[in-house]
Chain A
């Protein structure tokens, strides 16, 4: 039997130039613009995969970059810049989810509004697919799934971003994958029963 294909794809995110980071630390907004332009797409992808809403994801990205700007001088270079950014985004998204949950409870849930209908459709389709697979997962399992399987983070990066131990991340990922696999199987069985 052929060996199973490697699931993990090496992260191909280009790290910002250390000189650009240093200039940003010193307060150079132009240098920070370079970082924003370089990483906003990845930041948005992560925020969207967690929040499943274009508008919320854009807000989260904006908030995250403001936090990055304010905390730049505390960046320790111990981890990749993108990993540090991911940690900030995940925290911002979790805050947003908490806020959304409160708004839903009090009946102030926002309606998604988008300027570009075509792009919104693509995102909506993607959100629907992710939701279908991961809707029943607890938050930590869902984050482990999004970070490792959708954002291609390594195990050690996920450990730092989620502030969990290696064993906890592995365990959450294991149960997430198992649940998703069972969801897929049920979906497949339902489809074949419909065909019969």
Chain B
């Protein structure tokens, strides 16, 4: 087992990635293991041979000619052109940055437009629903959802949009009102502003509550 562990150390000993304690353990093992000693010796032979090979540097037949040849084929570089190239590179980076900024701005804008569209869609469908019966109202809500999904808006955003619009009047009140009012009242309701709508609903609720209460007489 130890032999297998130390084999890697023998082969890669020059990379110096073994702790002092491991090194001590290794030399203790080497003193007792013949196989590892042989491998260690082989490694020393390897070091000697590759060392000799390293000493023998290959020679360039004609170094001056090689230098001349290299320099004769390198294209001329005008410092002015290099400076110009640098400027062009910087301009490219700047252009990329500007394009990126524009893209970001456009993306933000498109998100804003989408949100506005959602709000309009909800408002439109809600108004429509007021003039219809309760079941139609739910259909309209479903239609809103589909429309909103087409605009890739999350349900949370949709719910939030509804909540914003319905902060004044609760849906139950709205449903009860739309269930009862006649066509003329519906038209009146639709043409009214939000404050008047609220008043209309509250009046209606007041009246319906009174009619339900037992008479004092």
Q: Select the stretch in A65-73, A83-91, A99-107, A135-143 that faces chain B.
A: A65-73
- B 6-28 contacts with A by CB, 8 A: 8, 11-15, 27
Q: Would you call B54 and A150 a contact (CB within 8 A)?
A: yes
- What is the CA–CA distance of A28 and B60 in the complex, to the nearest angstrom? 25
Q: Would you call A45 and B42 a contact (CB within 8 A)?
A: no
Q: Would you call B60 and A44 a contact (CB within 8 A)?
A: yes
| Nearest-Cβ distance from residue B92 to partner chain A, whole angstroms | 14
- What is the CA–CA distance of A66 and B8 in the complex, to the nearest angstrom? 41
Q: Collect the chain A residues with CB atoms within 8 Å of residue B27's CB.
A: 1
Chain B interface residue count, CB cutoff 8 Å, equals 45
Q: Select the stretch in B69-77, B101-109, B113-121 that faces chain A.
A: B69-77
Q: Would you call B62 and A126 a contact (CB within 8 A)?
A: no
B207 at the interface (CB under 8 A from A): no
Q: Would you call B43 and A181 a contact (CB within 8 A)?
A: yes
Give residues in B with beta carbon < 8 Å to A.
8, 11-15, 27, 30-31, 40, 42-47, 49-51, 53-54, 56-63, 66-67, 69-71, 73-79, 81-82, 85-86
| CB-defined A-B contacts under 8 Å, sample of 22 | A8-B14, A8-B15, A25-B82, A27-B77, A27-B78, A27-B81, A27-B82, A29-B71, A29-B77, A41-B57, A44-B66, A61-B66, A62-B66, A65-B74, A114-B61, A122-B59, A149-B50, A173-B12, A177-B11, A177-B43, A181-B45, A184-B49
Give residues in A with beta carbon < 8 Å to B.
1, 4-9, 25-29, 32-33, 36-37, 40-41, 44-45, 48-49, 54, 57-58, 61-62, 65-66, 69-70, 73, 114-116, 119-120, 122-123, 126-127, 129-130, 133, 149-150, 152, 155, 170, 173-174, 177-178, 180-181, 184-185, 188
